[in-house]
Amino acid sequence: MHKYKIVKNIPLLLLVLVNSLLVLTIFSLMGYAQNLLNSDIQTNLNEIVIQNKDVINNSLSNEVNKLNLISSQLSERYSQKQIPLEQIFTEFANDKNESQLFIALPNGIAYLPDGGSLDINGRKYFRLALEGQSNISDRLISRANGSTLFVMSAPITSNNEIIGTIQRQFTLEQMYDLCSSSLYTDKGYTYIINSDGYIIIGSQDEEYTPESDNLFRLLFIDNPNETRILQEHINTNTTGFMKVSYRGTKIYASYTPLDKVYDWYLVSSVKTNAVLPNVQTVVKIFYVVLFVLFIGFLLSSSYFFYSRLEQEKKLRKLAFIDPVTGLDTYTKFQFDLQSILQSNPTKKFFIFTFDVDNFKYINNYYGYNIGDSILTIIHKLYSETLLSNELCARLYSDHFVMLLEDASTQRLNSLFSSEITIDNIIVYLSAGIYEITDSNENVNLMVDKANLASKNSKGTHHKKVEFYNVELDKKLIQNEQAKRAIEKAIQDDEIVPFFQPKININTNKIEGAEALARWITKAGIIIPPSDFIPLSEKTGLIHEIDFIILEKTLRFLRKCLDDGINCTPISINFSRMHLMSHDFIVRLISKINEYQIPPKLIEIELTETVIFDNYQIIEDFINHLHEHGLQISMDDFGSGYSSLNMLKDIEIDVIKFDRGFLQDTQKSERQKVILSAITNMAVGLGIKVVVEGVETQENVNLMKEYGCTIAQGYYYAKPMPIDQFEIIFKEGKL
């Protein structure tokens, strides 16, 4: 009987045994799968913390480099002037409007821009700088107002001797901006701590108190062993990963030293439910439907592998796939670049950057969808040209970067040989190239140098490629100084209009005038337009200069009208940059209405090149101006190749012959025929003709011969200030 019961229970025992083995197997597999997932998360989190580390290191290094540059400038001034360093600093700080800088002499006395002083002899950052080491302090409490701040310090040397230190203060918010980086959106946290565990900078919404600002102390309560390991790794500058609990929440964390900053360490963490939400759901379902062991095992295993693949795809897409073009991002470019350089140490490579000229205008005029479409087509077009070991990525906005192995003239010409036309929009590019001479050089610095060369090629509209050289750095500094001088001239009201009259050669009557920008310093020195207009075009200051000339011209016309003077039209040059401004016409008409000037007295001058380069859109622009009663003048007529077509297609009110016609007409019968034909055609179309550059009686005779009656040039009058012009304007003739 006993034996029978045992035999009867064998199937049940086998079933229990099989099910138990199956349960154990499934749980073992689930544990193994969880370990695999943890390992995968550890790898991904370590990669992200290294990326964040590089970003923070680059940001802080850039600030240190800026401070070292200021140190060099102070040292240079000290060598030149031989006056006390604190006096040199005060002059420098006032010139640059730098309120966050202060210097210290070797005795520890610091001097502030406002003339105040304090003793910083006990500060660690000061002692390190005196030893020749540029550094960044931990969190400090300001002695002035008790606020939290950081101090960056660098030595100032003269004749290989440290004569003081230069410091820049950063608020907690400023340092956060420098070191901020995202991790798993709003569910992640990032901290920078020192070797004692004190939190120097934390996540933006975190608040810290003396009881809660030590990461070791916060973690030790629930994770004593992990905390000890973390302390050991930090003391030995070791990168690591840990899984800990904090206030009942499971957290993954990765940490690494910030090797660019003394005694700072980066810790990035994320809650487990931020990276494993789907897997946790599978686990819960598994416990509910445990009786379907085998099916549940297959489903959960399948779902696990699917989730793992999806997680990798999302992380890779986030970091490596550009959301606009769907191709490589700059982050992927950086990773691939390092790999290629390390694998090919003997090969020569080049960083090639380019961007779309006037892309802001394309977005404003055609819409962002067209703009994004253009970026996508450009990215795809240049990606298709890549050779082995070459890369292409979008930097940001309309800026792209490539790694080239072949940068021969033939290759560059093939990249930039033909126009890119997309939906009837002609796209012009500006490009710069930098030869990589040191594979260990910071990638961002390489790209910056190529970008600097690219900026130097702007404005050619021939897709010119500019090579980087050290002279560009010097030119950048010179342009920055010149830009500040122009800004100060605008602020000091030194930009004024000079007027050059347009004269009827038969009656000597004034038919109008042209307002020309002049810069007259407080010392009475006249700066020629060639010294400030081109740079103003590049920097965007031309917008303000053009409207200064407009407003002063309107003010002059208002006075003349009030005095009963019979006014004639005054033409004003406007930069091509205004075509990119969506509100230019609104602002222009608003100014004219403000001074109550009849629109017929204002003539808008555009060069032939501007009209030709923007042929598709210039018609709408001119039509809008005509709707408001303004006249349009085409300057430098004849300097291009499209003049006759433009006379037919675009309603121009005035054409101004390029001075080259007068210079060469006496030598060429062909030009005489051309000048005569164009003049007759213009008169037939009701277009007024003005000849520029009239300097001799022979020029006047030629004008009479071909029916041109309005002259502008030194033969009649040079450009003159308002007070002189008002006299002849009132008379109405020379």
Query: For the chain, what are the domain ranges?
Result: 2-174, 182-275, 330-468, 491-731
Higher-confidence residue of 416 and 104: namely 104
Task: Give the pLDDT mean for 48-75.
Answer: 87
- The pLDDT, as a whole number, for residue 729 is 95
Confidence bin at 645 (pLDDT 50/70/90): low
Cβ contacts of 660 within 8 Å, gap of 6 or more: 638, 639
- Which DSSP string do the residues of 473-526 spell out, in sequence order? HHHHHHHHHHHHHHHHHHHTT-EEEEEEEEEETTT-BEEEEEEEEEEE-TT-PE
What element of type H or E holds 92? helix 85-96
Does the pLDDT value for residue 8 go beyond 50?
Answer: no
pLDDT per residue as tens digits for the range 678-730: 888 888 888 999 999 999 999 898 888 888 999 999 999 999 999 999 999 99
Q: Model confidence at 494, in pLDDT bands (50, 70, 90)?
A: very high
In this prediction, residue 538 carries a pLDDT of 79
- Phi, psi for residue 246 in degrees, rounded to 5: -140, 115
What is the fold, at CATH topology level, of the domain defined by 491-731? Answer: TIM Barrel (3.20.20)
193 CB-near residues (< 8 Å, 6+ apart) = 199, 200, 215, 234, 264, 265, 267
Report the residue count for the chain.
734
Are the C-beta atoms of 78 and 105 separated by less than 8 Å?
no
**Residue 663 backbone phi and psi in degrees, to 5:** -70, -30
Work out the angle at residue 628's Cα, subtended by the Cα atoms of residues 623 and 629, and round it to the nearest 5 degrees. Answer: 95
Buried b (16+ CB within 10 A) or exposed e, 365-394: bbeeeebebbbbebbeebbeeeeebbbbbb
Task: Return the pLDDT at 30.
Answer: 66
Q: What is the mean pLDDT of residues 219-238?
A: 88
The predicted pLDDT at position 707 comes to 84
Q: Which one of 13-22, 252-261, 388-397 scores highest in mean pLDDT?
A: 388-397
Task: Examine the pLDDT at 344 and tell me if it is beyond 60.
Answer: yes
Predicted local distance difference test score (pLDDT) of residue 144? 72
| Res 393 pLDDT > 80 | yes
pLDDT of 487 = 94
Highest mean pLDDT: which of 462-476, 559-573, 598-612?
559-573
For 107, the token pair is 């005795």
Average pLDDT, the chain: 83
The per-residue pLDDT for 9 is: 44
CB 305 within 8 A of CB 313: no
Are the C-beta atoms of residues 659 and 675 closer than 8 Å to each other?
A: no
45-67 mean pLDDT: 84
Q: For residue 111, with 0-12 CB atoms within 10 Å meaning exposed, 13-18 middle and 19 or more buried, which class applies?
A: buried
pLDDT at 3 over 50: no
152 vs 290: which has the higher pLDDT? 152
Fold of 182-275: Beta-Lactamase (3.30.450)
Q: What backbone torsions phi and psi does residue 701 show, to the nearest 5 degrees? A: -60, -40
Express each pLDDT in 496-552 by its tens digit.
999 999 999 999 999 999 999 999 999 999 998 988 998 888 788 999 999 999 999
Q: CB-based contacts of 444: which residues, under 8 Å, 6+ apart? A: 58
68-82 average pLDDT score: 90
Model confidence at 19, pLDDT cuts 50, 70, 90, reads: low
Task: Write down the pLDDT at residue 475.
Answer: 78
Distance CA 694, CA 660 (A): 11
In this structure, how many other beta carbons lie within 10 angstroms of the beta carbon of residue 329? Answer: 21
- Quote the pLDDT of residue 7: 46
Checking DSSP bridges between strand 602-607 and strand 570-573, what pairing results, if any?
parallel
The CATH number fitting domain 2-174, selected from 3.40.50.720, 3.30.450.20, 3.40.630.190, 3.20.20.120? 3.30.450.20
pLDDT attached to residue 204: 52
Name the nearest CA neighbour of 427 among 502, 374, 487, 366: 374
In this predicted structure, the answer to whether residue 348 has a pLDDT above a threshold of 90 is: yes
**Ramachandran area for residue 564 (φ above 0: left; ψ -120 to 50: alpha; else beta):** left
Instruction: Give the pLDDT confidence score for residue 459 in this predicted structure.
Output: 55
β-strand pairing of 425-427 with 429-435: unpaired
- In the predicted model, what is the mean pLDDT of residues 95-119? 90
CA-CA distance, 452 to 454, in Å (whole number)? 5
Equal fold, 2-174 vs 182-275 = yes
Residue range 330-468 in CATH 3.30.70.270: yes
List, as one string, the DSSP characters of 432-477. Answer: EEEE---TTS-HHHHHHHHHHHHHHTTT-SS--EEE--HHHHHHHH
d(CA 565, CA 601): 13
Q: 639 or 593, which is more confident?
A: 593
